[in-house]
């Protein structure tokens, strides 16, 4: 990774911009762990962001603080919800 991509990979928190049905962006700070070229975050399956990702995986991400203050500009990304089998791996990544 280089440049902004590297700073996102090194980030502890990112602002995850998901989109409502009407196209309105919803920014949420999330705690992330990286593994190679992938970032992993934890959220409840019935959360708004999970529902928006299930409907539309196109997102934007930016480095931010825990409170959501942006530290970089947004870059396009694709989000994916993992099944129950991915839960253990994500928990281990988040705690290590």
- List pLDDT tens digits, range 13-32: 999 999 999 999 999 999 99
Place of tokens 């590297």: 6
By the 8 A CB rule, do 40 and 90 touch?
yes
Average of per-residue pLDDT across 31-45: 85
- Residues 45 and 20: their CA atoms lie apart, in Å, by 17
Domain of 62: which CATH number?
2.30.110.10
Indicate the pLDDT class of residue 9, thresholds 50, 70 and 90.
low
DSSP state of 70: B
- 3 CB-near residues (< 8 Å, 6+ apart): none
Total number of domains in the chain = 1
3-state secondary structure of 12: coil
- List pLDDT tens digits, range 51-78: 999 999 999 999 999 999 999 999 999 9
DSSP state of 47: S
Which residues constitute the domain of residue 64? Answer: 3-95
Q: What was the pLDDT predicted at 5?
A: 56
């Amino acid at each position: 990774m280089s440049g902004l991509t590297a700073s996102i990979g090194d980030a502890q928190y990112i602002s995850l911009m998901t989109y409502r049905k009407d196209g309105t962006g919803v920014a949420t700070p999330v705690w992330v762990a990286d593994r190679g070229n992938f970032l992993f975050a934890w959220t409840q399956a019935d959360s708004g962001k999970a529902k928006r990702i299930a409907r539309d995986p196109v997102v934007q991400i930016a480095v931010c603080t825990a409170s959501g203050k942006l530290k970089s500009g947004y870059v396009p990304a694709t989000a994916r919800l993992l099944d129950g089998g991915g839960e253990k791996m994500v928990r281990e990544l988040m705690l290590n």
